[in-house]
Structure 1
């Protein structure tokens, strides 16, 4: 009977039995590693401070690095926590050996589960799993870099849009001011022409005065008055032309506005110093000295 049984068995049958035993051994080993690691975590709290290495080597024959790996495996794979897909760590990794588990320790639980779902980990060597982990990390790093680059690009785009909107608003404001200055310039120019015409007409009307002395005095008064009005109109027109030129140059307009602000601030500063001098002369003098030095230095730097 034994001879028949022996001849009925095949290579495939025996191989299947060996593989089954191997799987059972792996599961037993996995559970043993988790159990040992769990107890190492427990006993570490009991061993006196500074005696841990001696305890491991003398009582258990473990190197500190080996014990550390057992404890890490217990923490990462021994919680029996069931995921949303209904699997627990032992179901996914229970057939892995000690060397196969070590590379997976560097991954978060979610990433480990993803690798287990996408690959036949039990059939892979520890080096293959290590390479798989390396590729996983590299892919995640590239994804993180791409996401970071995308965020920076979005931020740069938003900043550019804000700058563009600000530039458009500044340009519109400059154009509006330029338009108003052009109107003012045209008005002053027209007023100047009107004054010149009035001056010529006044001279002609003054010629009908019968008294020569009175006539000459009237003419001179009219000329003086009209020349004064013409000079004022010319000065206003010249100032308007200057403002118009600045308005057409946004950068020059910006500098001019800042200069006007500085003049206004200087005036307020002088008033504040005058008030301070009435109550605290010494303090006011110190401020004057410091401010004077500052303005002198800035003046030299801007030349």
Structure 2
């Protein structure tokens, strides 16, 4: 009697391979956690300086490998179901994500479908982004502190000017100048506070204020006690207000979720800037 051989489809074969792969990965991660648990137990019993030699003589692990295994147990043992299908190398890469963010990160980025190299790249970009955000926030807080100091100094100078005031025209000009500069500083401090409260600063807006404009602002601040020209004081007030509004406009633009709408308004900003530049160059020619 001839035995019939049923030919299996490539789809069935692929499904079986993937099932075995996932089972293997799950077992590997579980086994790594169990090894890590025992390494922690052994390390607690050893004296300082004995750890490296014990690893080499007994289990042939480097200290970096042992650290990874212990971290896998510490970080993943509390919720093994959420990470059971991850490979060992992906589990190691994900140690670069904060524990409270890790599960959401895995789901949102479909980590199971990524290669380890792709995952490492995404994590590296995330870490870079977080550093840029932290730096921008630190810069904004530093600017806020400087503004608060400026406001205190201006208030003191204004108080002194009132106490020493005479009927001379120069005294009146000095009081007016200090009053206007105080208004500018308080306005900028208020808008900076509003922008910080509105939403976290994102890396896409790291260069909100162009370097050349920031340099000009620093120069204006350093010379705040030199000018007595009412026209120059008025310009400085308007200039600071313009920069503040541009900053807030960019924050608002960055918050638009629809890409087409965002592109439309970005183009509108470019057209306005071109028009302003042409108007300014025409007025100076």
Shorter-normalised TM range: 0.5 to 0.7
Q: 1:249 to 1:49 in 2, by over 3 A?
A: closer
| Match for residue 119 of structure 2 among 129, 147, 154 | 129
1:1-303 paired onto structure 2 within 5 Å = 3=4, 6-7=6-7, 9-47=8-46, 49-78=48-77, 80=78, 88=79, 90-175=80-165, 178-179=166-167
Please give the alpha-carbon distance, in whole angstroms, between the structure 1 residues aligned to 2:130 and 2:109: 17
Q: Which has the larger radius of gyration?
A: 1
Supply the distance in 1 between the matched residues of 2:30 and 2:81 (Cα, whole angstroms): 11
Quote the residue 1:275 is aligned against: none
Question: Gapped runs of 5+ residues in structure 1?
Answer: 81-87, 180-243, 251-303
Give SS of 1:62's match: coil
CA RMSD of aligned residues (A): 2.8
Shift of 1:55: 2.7
Partners of 1:48 and 1:145 in 2: how far apart?
A: 41
After superposition, the Cα gap between the structure-2 partners of 1:246 and 1:12, relative to the gap in structure 1 and judged at 3 Å, is closer
State the alpha-carbon separation in 1 of the partners of residues 109 and 64 from structure 2. 28
Distance change >3 Å, CA 2–CA 52, structure 1 → 2:
farther
4+ residue stretches of structure 1 with deviation over 6 A?
244-250
Which structure shows the bigger proportion of residues in helix conformation?
Answer: 1
Give the direction of change, closer, same or farther, for the CA distance of 1:113–1:36 in structure 2 (3 Å limit).
Answer: same
Alpha-carbon deviation of 1:2? 6.8
Q: Distance in 2 between matches of 1:166 and 1:31?
A: 67
SS at match of 1:96: coil
- Residues in 2 aligned to 1:168 and 1:139: alpha-carbon distance in whole angstroms: 43
Are 2:29 and 2:88, in contact at CA under 8 Å, matched by a contact in 1?
yes
Question: Which whole-Å CA distance do the structure 1 matches of 2:3 and 2:74 have between them?
Answer: 49
Higher RCO (CA-CA < 8 Å; seq separation 6+): 2
Task: For 1:26 and 1:2, locate their aligned partners in 2 and report how far apart those are by CA, in whole Å.
Answer: 37
Give the drift of 1:14.
1.4
Q: Do the aligned partners of 2:36 and 2:69 also contact (CA within 8 Å) in 1? A: yes
Unpaired runs of 5+ residues, structure 2, are 175-285
Cα distance change on mapping 1:94 and 1:2 into 2, 3 Å: farther
